[in-house]
Structures are given as C-alpha cells and as structure tokens.
Structure 1
Amino acid sequence: MNGTPEEITTLVGREVYSNNGMFVGEVEDVRLNLDHEAVTGLALTALNTELFGNQIEPGKGVLIPYRWVRAVGDVILINDVIERLKNPEESEESAVV
C-alpha cells in the first residue's frame, strides 16, 4: 500500500454509493490488516433505510469488504450491493457491527 495514514483517515466520513448511484451509507471506521498494511473493510453507518429496510436495527451499521470498492474519490463507489442484499445466500457475507 502506497498511502499514508492521513489518506486512510480521509475515508472516514465519506459517503458510499453503489455502482448504479444508490446511496448506501457513510464510512464511520475502517478495518485494517496490520500485517499486510491494507484496508480490509469499511464500517458504514447512516445507512440508506430503503436499501437495508428491516435487515439492520436502528443505530447499527454494516461492515463491507474493501474488495467491493471500485473507486475512491469525493465519494466511494462499491460493487453489487443491491444484488448482494437481495440474494444474501448467494453472496459473501457482510457483518452487522
């Protein structure tokens, strides 16, 4: 990873959108693998209630794998979140945090 710690902390507070433009949530924290010096997940809060509905209790968040991230800029774009939520038995798990 070529980034500096300052770059990692800039992820916090960014809005996350699916690749089709749907708001997913806001980054509250990052999960790191210190041995590999890599970000492995994003903890999201302020979730889109239409997207998560009754799946997530109010005040809770989700942890998404960083490999879902397509692009990081002013916002963060992720892959397939809608399809993964509609077919959770066919997708990799996201965790409630």
Structure 2
Amino acid sequence: MAIKVSEILNKKIYTTKGYYVGEVYDAMIDTEKAVVSGIVVSDVYKGCLKDKVDDPSKKVVIPYRVVESIGNIVLVKLSKK
C-alpha cells in the first residue's frame, strides 16, 4: 500500500506499548533505493525519548523499519528506554 509523506506529517507517534514518542516532522528518503528510511520526530522532549535530547527544539530520526502501522496515529516498535 502506498501512502504520501504529506499524509503522515504532524501525526502523533506512539510505541506499541502506548508511550508517546512525538510527532512526525518529516521523512528521510533513501534516494538510491527509493524508499523511506526514517521518520524525523519533533516534540520529542514531551515523549518517552526525552532523555535522548538536551534541547527541546531538537528532533530525532527513528528508522522506518520500526514503524508497525500508520492510521490516525503512527505506531512504532521501540523499547521505552
């Protein structure tokens, strides 16, 4: 199933265990393979990865392979730590 990157922007991201991760800010594209390689996450300082950033304006990239599903929200398989 194909999905436009613009359709996932600003969606809330949660782990499969129900922890808030952040919001989709952008997507990383592997131009050699023509696939999405990662999701850029904003609002990280409010989520379960807050210990990974020291500046609230920073964003993190999570690998696209951890995305479990995309619907009204994005579910990712991450450990809380």
Q: Does the alignment reach a TM-score above 0.5?
A: yes
Output the amino acid matched with 1:65.
Answer: P
2:56 and 2:11 map into 1 onto residues whose CA distance is 20
Report SS of the residue matched to 1:9: helix
Greater fraction of residues in helix: 1
CA distance in 2, matches of 1:71, 1:61: 21
**Which is richer in strand?**
2
Which structure would you say has the larger RCO, counting Cα contacts within 8 Å and 6 or more residues apart? 2
Partner in structure 1 of residue 33 of structure 2: 36
- 2:75 matched residue in structure 1: 77
Separation in structure 2 between the aligned mates of residue 65 and residue 50 of structure 1, nearest angstrom: 17
Change (3 A) 1:55 1:8: closer
Aligned to 1:19: 16
The 1:50–1:29 alpha-carbon spacing in structure 2 relative to 1, beyond 3 Å, is closer
Shift in Å, 1:64: 0.2
Are the aligned partners of 1:68 and 1:79 in contact in 2 as well (CA < 8 Å)? Answer: yes
Cα 1:37–1:50 shift into 2, 3 Å: closer
Indicate the RMSD between aligned Cα atoms, in angstroms.
Answer: 1.8
What TM-score do the two structures reach when normalised by structure 1?
Answer: 0.72
Among all aligned residue pairs of Structure 1 and Structure 2, give the percentage whose two residues are the same amino acid. Answer: 25
Rg: which structure is higher?
Answer: 1
Post-superposition offset of 1:45: 0.5
TM-score, normalisation: structure 2: 0.84
CA deviation vs aligned residue, 1:28-87 (integer Å, no higher than 9, x gap): 0000012222110000011253523443121101100000000011100000231xxx3x
